[in-house]
Structure 1
Amino acid sequence: MVIDTWFEPTLLGLLGLLVGSFLNVVIYRLPVIMQRAWKRDSIAFLREQGLQLEEVSQEEVPRFNLMVPRSRCRQCGHAISAIENIPVLSYLVLRGKCRGCGTPIGMRYPLVEIVTGLAFAYCGHRWGLSYTGAAWAGFCAVIIALVMIDWDTTLLPDDMTLPLLWAGILAAWLGVINVPLAQSVLGAIVGYLSLWSVCLLFKLVTGKDGMGNGDFKLLAALGAWLGVWAILPIVLVSSVLGAVIGIALKLTNRLREGGYMPFGPFLGGAGLFVLMVGTDTINRWLNTLLGMH
């Protein structure tokens, strides 16, 4: 029946919209939480070394984590009510503006919700309401968050990449995903070492870092989830994506200062692409392009 066909994708898609709303919070707050932690650790370390620092204000710092405080407008401080926080729908009703001051709300917020909803719906369509579907939906959610965080801050938090890596190996070990454990472990190893070795060679030749260590860990996590045979397609697809978008940004003078562009968003996007298209299909395309049969 049609209802049976659409029930699971629709249900997971709606769940994805809610998860996407939470991802918007993670994307903004996690880097801030990390920066505050680095500042505290740096001050503590310098004091341990006997350096005299200006007294830090003793006023109680408000709690700030992924749950507290409530989301607010950054312009006027208007607290977002539950009715204003319905994924996509609230954005449309409010016409993309803050209810308190009328400041425009970025399109990225509903877009993150929509992309997450579509990714979850895809998982529901392909794997249904199963442990496998839930695992891949979780994978998609983390990748989407990492893509946005890296694009904004050029950071790929260990708090997300490392758990993602180990979760992939665990899912393979438990048989939740259709990737043999050996391929998962080898994918993590090859994923990390491939970018690490290229970066090391680049540094030896130029004396500069070509990319951050977070990229190694992200590709290792993708290898753990998708298997060792997905590494080459991911690297090729991400390189093409990076080149196309980089050229487009350069032509429109939208490259950030120094012309630097993080590689993580393209790795993550390529990982999602390989998940949905399949490694075998991409390899067939490559064979066709190379004139191989």
Structure 2
Amino acid sequence: MPDLPLPAWTALAAVLGLLVGSFLNVVILRLPERMAAEWRREARDVLELEAGDEALPPGIVRESSHCPHCKHPLSAADNIPLVGWLLLRGHCRYCKAKISIQYPLVELLSGVLSAVVVWKLGPTWPALAGLLFTWALVALSGIDFRTQLLPDQLTLPLLWLGLLLTLKPLFVEPSTAILGAAIGYLSLWSVYWLFKLLTGKEGMGHGDFKLLAALGAWMGPLAILPIVLLSSLIGAIVGGGLIALSRHERGVPMPFGPFIAMAGWVWFVAGDALLHAYLQLTGLR
């Protein structure tokens, strides 16, 4: 790798994160639509119904970016991460429809988090793995926030990548990763079934189990409890704030996946520091 100072690597990571964030927006918007269309096709096949004339929504890679309102293809200038949205002042160049704030927020979030990962880990193989980890969590959070889905197409590759990285351990040993994945899955699975037996309702989706299993594969079983506690704290703060601001109604389900992802990312980049601070605060060290 070129011999560059860490600030330069961090800046490059931020730019790369912005570019990837633009692609993550495509994943967040198009993957659930493709999944729903494929489910409808499969349902018609199982029920032996006539095939409909419904066309599949745009693919994630092949189809070019376009305005979701007027369908006009976007120019290269319009697609510049963050800058394009600012230059257009949040409106389509062609039909003047409002462009969702999601686009620049996802790009900015991806850029900032990518920079933090490289600043923390340096220009190393663990940093590259950490970037993939970060981008997957951003995509999963965006999809779950919009649709309350955590697609297997993202959670399972994240889980398997965490396990495969232990062949030449970057973060944890193979046995630790396997145990972390198992405990991560079974911990929320147990809570799910206990809640369902007591109330007759489903408190969370199965995607949450798989996401926590993936985090366990990346960081080991000792990270599971802090991630669950931290995600519950973040969820309580965010949920309470939204209810207080009348942005979310009481009793309406709120996706838990984004909070698990937030807590997992925070523990990934700062778990050691947080644990040390906790031990110091409690006098255990």
* Alpha-carbon distance between aligned partners in 2 of 1:186 and 1:107, rounded to the nearest angstrom: 40
Question: How many percent identity over aligned positions?
Answer: 46
Q: Which amino acid aligns with 2:144?
A: D
1:112 equivalent to 2:106? Answer: yes
Counterpart position of 1:195: 188
The answer for the alignment partner of 1:72 in structure 2 is 66
Q: Hey, what's the Cα distance between the residues in 2 that align with 1:200 and 1:286?
A: 32
Q: How many residues align?
A: 283
Aligned residue identity for 2:175: A
1:284 Cα deviation from its structure 2 partner: 3.6
2:17 is aligned to: 16
The 2-side partners of 1:259 and 1:291 are apart by 41
Answer yes or no: is the 8 Å Cα contact 1:63–1:69 preserved in 2. no
Counterpart residue identity of residue 235, structure 1: V
Q: 1:64 to 1:256 in 2, by over 3 A?
A: farther
> Which of 80, 94, 97 does residue 103 from structure 1 map onto?
97
Counterpart Cα distance in 2 of 1:145 and 1:74: 19
- Quick check: 227-236 or 66-75, which moved more? 66-75
CA distance in 1, matches of 2:140, 2:53: 34
Q: Which runs of 4+ in 1 moved over 3 A?
A: 55-59, 284-293
**1:68 shift after superposition:** 3.5
- Offset of residue 127 of structure 1: 2.7
The match for 1:209 is 202
> 5+ residue gaps in structure 1?
48-52
2:123 is equivalent to residue 129 of structure 1: yes
Picking from 158, 164, 169, the partner of 2:163 is 169
* Aligned-residue RMSD, C-alpha: 2.0
Seen in structure 2, the aligned counterparts of structure 1 residues 5 and 31 have a Cα distance that, compared at 3 Å, is same
Change (3 A) 1:62 1:148: closer
CA distance in 2, matches of 1:173, 1:3: 29
> How far apart are 1:58 and its partner, in Å?
4.4
Name the amino acid aligned to 2:273: T
Which deviates the most, 3-12 or 25-34?
3-12
The amino acid that maps onto 1:121 is: A
Structure 1 residues 121 and 106, CA, compared in 2 at 3 Å: closer, same or farther? same
Structure 1 Cα separation of the partners of residues 61 and 28 of structure 2: 13
Is the 2:171–2:218 Cα contact (8 Å) retained in structure 1? no
In the alignment, what sits opposite 1:260? 253
AA matched with 1:281? A
TM-score by length of 2: 0.93
Q: Does 1:234 align with 2:227?
A: yes
**Structure 1 residue 292 displacement after superposition:** 4.3
- Structure 1 residue 258 displacement after superposition: 4.5
**More divergent stretch after superposition (20-29 vs 64-73):** 64-73
Q: Secondary structure at the match of 2:47?
A: helix
Partners in 2 of 1:62 and 1:200 — Cα distance?
36
Structure 1 residue 207: deviation in Å? 1.3
- The offset of 1:124, in angstroms, is 2.1
Q: Is the Cα contact below 8 Å between 2:120 and 2:269 reproduced in 1?
A: no
User: Which residue in the other structure is 2:173 paired with?
Assistant: 180
String of CA shifts for 1:223-253, please: whole Å, max 9, x gaps: 1111111111100110001111111111222
CA–CA distance in 2 between the matches of 1:70 and 1:141? 21
Indicate conservation of the 8 Å contact 2:37/2:56, yes or no. Answer: no
Contact 1:168–1:184 (Cα < 8 Å) also in 2:
yes
Amino acid at match of 2:67: C
Aligned-partner residue type, residue 248 of structure 2: L
The answer (yes or no) to whether the contact 1:202–1:208 under 8 Å persists in 2 is: yes
For residues 72 and 192 of structure 1, the distance between their equivalents in structure 2, rounded to whole angstroms, comes to 38
